[in-house]
Amino acid sequence: MKEHELKILIKRDEIAKAVESLAKRIDSDYFGKKILLVGVLKGAAFFLVDLARSMSVPLEIDFVEVSSYGNKSKSSGKIKLIKDIKKDLTDYHVLIVEDILDSGLTLQYLIDFFKQKNPLSVKSVVLFYKIKDDNYKRSDVDYFGLKIPDYFVVGYGLDYAEKYRNLRDLYVIYFV
Ligand SMILES: O=P(O)(O)OC[C@H]1O[C@H](OP(=O)(O)OP(=O)(O)O)[C@H](O)[C@@H]1O
Ligand code: HPA
Ligand SMILES: [Mg+2]
C-alpha cells in the first residue's frame, strides 16, 4: 500500500534562479571580507554547494550537523548537535547556510551557538522560507530565497525519513 505521494511545488529552474540571485547579493555584501559558509547537514549540503559555486568572492566552507526531526514531519523541539566545527572563528564572518526555515528552532540554536565562538559577525541565508501565520515569531533571517506555504516538503536536500534528498525539484509530500 502506498503511504504517501509527491506533488511538485517548485521546479529546478526557479530554485536555480533563486540561488543565483542570493549568491549575487551575498557577493556584493561580503566583498573584501573573510567569509566562512557553514552548511547545516544534512539537508543544506545541496544548497551550500550550489550557492558556493555561484559566488565569486573568496570563501571557505565548513559544516555542522544538527537534527531535530528524526523520521517525523514535525520538529521534536530538541536540537541535537551531532557535528561541530574545529576552526578558530575570531577573524571570520560566519554565514549559516540553511535549506529551510520551518519552526525556526534550528536556526535560532545555531545563531546562538556561533555567536559564542566570537566571530566578526554571524548571519544566515535560508533557501526556503516557510510562511506561518502572522503571530508565529521566529528568528530573523538575513537572506532568503523563496517563500513557500506551510506544507512538509522534500527534494533539493530535504528529506522525509532520509529519502528524497536527491530530487532536483521541490515537492509537497501528502500522507494518504
Ligand atoms: O526550522 P526548523 O523547524 O528547526 O527546521 C529546519 C531544519 O530541519 C531540517 O533538518 P533536520 O533536523 O531534519 O536534519 P537533516 O537536515 O539531516 O534532515 C532542515 O534541514 C533544517 O535544518
Ligand atoms: O518541510 C520540511 N521538509 C523536510 N524537512 C524539514 N525540516 C523542517 N521542515 C521540513
Ligand atoms: Mg530532515
**Tens digit of pLDDT for each residue in 65-107?**
998 998 888 889 999 999 999 999 999 999 999 999 999 999 9
Which strands make up the sheet holding 93-101, listed edge to edge? 80-83, 59-67, 35-41, 93-101, 121-130, 143-148
pLDDT confidence of 7, banded at 50, 70, 90?
very high
How high is the pLDDT of residue 137?
73
In a 3-state reduction of DSSP, which class is residue 109?
Answer: helix
Mutate to test the pocket of ligand 1, among 40, 47, 64, 125 (most ligand atoms within 8 A of CB): 40
Asked whether the predicted pLDDT for residue 135 surpasses 90, the reply is: no
Q: Which helix (H) or strand (E) holds 154?
A: strand 153-154
User: What's the chain's average pLDDT?
Assistant: 95
Length of the chain: 176
C-alpha cell read off for 115:
555567536
Burial of 58 per CB tally in 10 Å (0-12, 13-18, 19+):
exposed
Asked whether the predicted pLDDT for residue 33 surpasses 80, the reply is: yes
The neighbouring-strand residues paired with 121 are: 93
How high is the pLDDT of residue 121?
98
Catalytic choice (13, 29, 88, 102): 102
How high is the pLDDT of residue 140?
83
- Going by CA atoms, what residue is nearest to atom 21 of ligand 1? 100
**Tens digit of pLDDT for each residue in 137-147?**
787 899 999 99
How high is the pLDDT of residue 72?
87
Residue entry with cell 523520521: 71
How high is the pLDDT of residue 1?
60
**Tens digit of pLDDT for each residue in 14-32?**
999 999 999 999 999 999 9
Structural domains in the chain? 12-150 (3.40.50.2020)
